Amino acid sequence: MTTWLARATATVALLLAVPSFAQAQTAVSSGGGLSSKSAEASLPPSTVPGAKAALTPKGKAIPPAAAPAAVKAVIAAGNKIAHKPYKWGGGHARLFDSGYDCSGSVSYALRRAGLLGYSLASGPFMTWGQRGRGQWITIRTNPGHAYMIVAGLRFDTSAHGIGGSRWTTAKRSPRGFVARHPVGF
């Protein structure tokens, strides 16, 4: 499935899941602008039904309602840096940086959710947490790259060049990567 088709499918699924959101996009007050009520309704929902996250057209992830609070916190943190530029070493020397590399991005989201104490490079992620895929969060890592899958969405610096966001619905081959996950997730 092409990236465009995957995004379009995710957007349609989101709009069908939250009909008031779709209706609010076209609500116009008598003055020609959005009324305060329709403006509030046009904000993306804070969660989507079920256990899979959704992706907005602007590249932000919406956590699933069924996700634990820590998973929602990882998604919220990822959203904060989803459009930041790639910066080699970014996110390692300091948590709040002007850009983030692959493992710095993963580390930032996990640290802000309280699941990681300090930033790790991709190599050390290979032995972090528990082995295998997690129910909610899976870190895919090798000595040269790290990314994660959170509630079904991939958070990956290599996706940034595709749609301007680290979040994507596009799958990536796990070949050559070790799967790890935070304990309990």
- The pTM of this model reads 0.75
Residue 32 CB burial class (10 angstroms; 0-12, 13-18, ≥19): exposed
In this predicted structure, the answer to whether residue 22 has a pLDDT above a threshold of 90 is no
In this predicted structure, the answer to whether residue 113 has a pLDDT above a threshold of 50 is yes
Quickly count: other Cβ atoms within 10 Å of residue 47's Cβ: 17
Which amino acid appears at position 97 of this protein?
A: D
Q: Residues 6 or more apart from 176 whose CB is under 8 A from it?
A: 142
Half-sphere exposure of 134 (CA within 13 A, CB side): 22
Q: Which residue has the tokens 């904000």?
A: 43
Question: What pLDDT was estimated at residue 159?
Answer: 86
Question: Contact at 8 Å (CB) between 57 and 22?
Answer: no
Q: How confident is the model at residue 13 (pLDDT cuts 50, 70, 90)?
A: very low
Q: How confident is the model at residue 163 (pLDDT cuts 50, 70, 90)?
A: confident
- CATH class, domain 46-181, is alpha beta
Nearest 10 degrees: Cα torsion 92, 175, 159, 45: -90
